[in-house]
DNA sequence: CAATTTATTTATTGATCGTTGAATAAATAA
DNA sequence: TTATTTATTCAACGATCAATAAATAAATTG
């Protein structure tokens, strides 16, 4: 019998994974709402139906838990972005547009937000908070896994309009990033400002308008 | 002698004002760096060279101090924005452009950031944090004083291109707001991503590129 | 000057923080 | 079954939190 070790540990391994994820889900939701310093380990434990000690057992300390919350989804989102950019580049070799590249970059993110999984909504809000936090703290805000896909985005935009300077390409990404970030934050402020005309959770509309506005805006950088 | 009460209270009133501002400055800097829950009253007091009790004496509690920090500059910035929009509208009656309106709206903010006063840099970073925080907490995140000037901006943009729907005007503001917010945050992330090509504190370049990119982007909404 | 208001410090409260070590229960290994 | 590893809970540590009441110092008033 070759399948001896795998099914043997099944029960306890599942238990472990289930507890870990329950804690991560609770932490994700609470951290999205009130941020790193606004949430206590006790709250997270209680929300997860686990003792505080168990949280420490699985994630060492608060910073470890935070980083685990980010790491759980960062890779998935990042891979989806990279795959979408690759697919677009392969399908439109020679006739790429700024709108096309931008849509390819944005679409995966907004798909996750519209997937119905509340975890991604919380994760988005948490990322938005992280994006307005200066680098170099307790917590890993470097987003190192995101760097290569940003580089890929910039390189594709460079292919679309080679006359745009490298610095301007990064500034352009900066503006795109700001618009994404505020959208993911889902503060409900645009809902109030617009008197209900716009809704923070209308990600389909946000994606469409963002592609149009910022796709068109890219042309302004081509001298 | 008509000038009797005014100079009499001079000494103590100045003392009061000086202490208040010293505390506000310290709080502004610390809050900008680590946010509401990341900073303690003790830290703020120590940074201001005052006892914690004095902070409570002037601002009641932590939330009161936070709101006072925001309120100190919110009105100034807001008035400058409104004046700039009014001046532009008066000077370009009939021949307004999206770029012009946008520049008028953005220019005051970036002027404050470039003024050299570190207080405004901290205030900007604090506002950025606030902008990625959901409404309805301990603290006044409604930004009620900002609402009228946003309305004014939207109305001017409506004059530029009446065919753009009201909802799209607000979405456009949403993207502008996101780009501003990330710029004010000054996280240093664009510096790292661009390998030093861009600098978070280069507000003159940010303003210029933002006006061009988002000014051009507005045209995409005019069907 | 004396009386009073205002600014600031000292000392302390009860609550809550992140974290830990030891005890216990459950599952796996032998 | 017995021994051992793994998961979970219990109880507690010292530190630090926001806030307050009372005492003190300084300035203003009359």
The fraction of chain A above a pLDDT of 90, given in percent, is: 86
Rounded distance in angstroms from the CA atom of residue B12 to the C1' atom of nucleotide D23: 21
More confident residue, A146 or A221: A221
Look at residue B1 and tell me whether its pLDDT is greater than 70.
no
Alpha-carbon gap, residue A74 to A108, rounded angstroms: 12
Interface test with A, best of B168, B182, B187, B191 (most A CBs within 10 A): B182
Look at residue A10 and tell me whether its pLDDT is greater than 80.
no
A62 pLDDT band, cuts 50/70/90, is very high
Task: List, in sequence order, the alpha helices (H) in chain A.
Answer: 5-8, 10-34, 41-48, 52-59, 62-91, 98-114, 118-131, 147-160, 166-185, 189-193, 203-218
Rounded to an integer, the average pLDDT of A106-126 is 97
What is the C-alpha end-to-end distance of chain B, expressed in Å?
A: 69
Chain B residues in contact with A215 by the CB 8 A cut-off are: 217, 220
B142 pLDDT band, cuts 50/70/90, is low
Q: What is the pLDDT of residues A183-218, one digit of tens each?
A: 999 999 999 999 999 999 999 999 999 999 999 999
* Interface membership of A16 toward B (CB under 8 Å): no
- Our CA dihedral for B38, A130, A141, A134, rounded to 10 degrees, sits at -60
A112 pLDDT band, cuts 50/70/90, is very high
- The beta-carbon neighbor of A170 closest among B143, B187, B190 is B190
Rounded distance in angstroms from the CA atom of residue A72 to the C1' atom of nucleotide C5: 60
B140 pLDDT band, cuts 50/70/90, is low
Look at residue B161 and tell me whether its pLDDT is greater than 60.
yes
Average model confidence (pLDDT) across chain B: 92
| Distance in Å, alpha carbon of A9 to nearest chain B alpha carbon | 42
Look at residue B151 and tell me whether its pLDDT is greater than 90.
yes
CA distances from A128 to A70, A148, A162, A185 (A): 12, 19, 31, 5
In terms of CATH, what superfamily is B2-220?
Tetracycline Repressor, domain 2 (1.10.357.10)
Report helix, strand or coil for B55: helix
Rounded distance in angstroms from the CA atom of residue B43 to the C1' atom of nucleotide D15: 15
| pLDDT reported for residue B27 | 98
- The beta-carbon neighbor of B135 closest among A180, A181, A188 is A188
| Distance in Å, alpha carbon of A84 to nearest chain B alpha carbon | 21
Interface test with B, best of A29, A35, A124, A132 (most B CBs within 10 A): A132
* Interface membership of A9 toward B (CB under 8 Å): no
Chain C, protein-covered positions (CB within 7 A): 6-11, 16-22, 27-29
As given in the structure block, the two tokens for residue A93 are 């070799």
As given in the structure block, the two tokens for residue B110 are 């970036």
Would the CB atoms of A214 and B37 count as touching at under 8 Å? no
As given in the structure block, the two tokens for residue A129 are 């908070």
Rounded distance in angstroms from the CA atom of residue A180 to the C1' atom of nucleotide C8: 48
Alpha-carbon gap, residue B151 to B173, rounded angstroms: 10
Rounded to an integer, the average pLDDT of A167-179 is 98
Lowest mean pLDDT among A14-18, B85-89, B200-204: A14-18
Alpha-carbon gap, residue A77 to A104, rounded angstroms: 13
Look at residue A35 and tell me whether its pLDDT is greater than 70.
yes
Q: Is the CB of A4 under 7 A from strand C?
A: no
* Interface membership of B36 toward A (CB under 8 Å): yes
As given in the structure block, the two tokens for residue A85 are 């950019």
Alpha-carbon gap, residue A29 to B177, rounded angstroms: 25
| pLDDT reported for residue A197 | 98
CA distances from B139 to A119, B62, B71, B143 (A): 26, 9, 12, 10
Number of C-alpha atoms within 13 angstroms, CB side, residue A207? 17
Question: If you search the block for the tokens 């661009």, which residue do you land on?
Answer: B194
Q: Is the CB of A138 under 7 A from strand C?
A: no
B201 pLDDT band, cuts 50/70/90, is very high
- B62: which nucleotide lies closest, measuring CA to C1'? D18
Give this prediction's pTM: 0.93
């Amino acid at each position: 019998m070759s399948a001896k070790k795998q099914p043997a540990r099944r029960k306890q391994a599942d238990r472990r994974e289930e507890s870990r994820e329950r804690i991560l889900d609770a932490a994700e939701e609470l951290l999205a709402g009130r941020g790193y310093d606004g949430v206590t380990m006790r709250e997270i434990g209680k929300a997860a139906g686990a003792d505080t000690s168990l949280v420490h057992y699985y994630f060492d300390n608060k910073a470890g838990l935070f980083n685990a919350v980010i790491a759980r989804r960062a890779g998935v989102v990042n891979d989806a972005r990279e795959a979408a950019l690759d697919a677009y580049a392969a399908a439109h070799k020679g006739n790429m547009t700024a709108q096309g590249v931008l849509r390819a970059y944005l679409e995966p993110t907004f798909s996750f937000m519209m997937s119905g999984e509340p975890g991604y909504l919380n994760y988005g809000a948490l990322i938005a908070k992280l994006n307005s936090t200066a680098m170099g703290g307790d917590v890993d805000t470097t987003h190192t896994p995101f760097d290569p896909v940003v580089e890929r985005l910039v390189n594709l935009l460079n292919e679309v309009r080679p006359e745009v300077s490298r610095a301007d390409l990064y500034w352009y990404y900066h503006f795109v990033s700001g618009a994404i970030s505020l959208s993911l934050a889902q503060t409900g402020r645009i809902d109030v400002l617009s008197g209900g005309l716009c809704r923070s959770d209308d990600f389909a509309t946000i994606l469409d308008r963002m592609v149009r506005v910022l796709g068109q805006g890219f042309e302004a950088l081509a001298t």
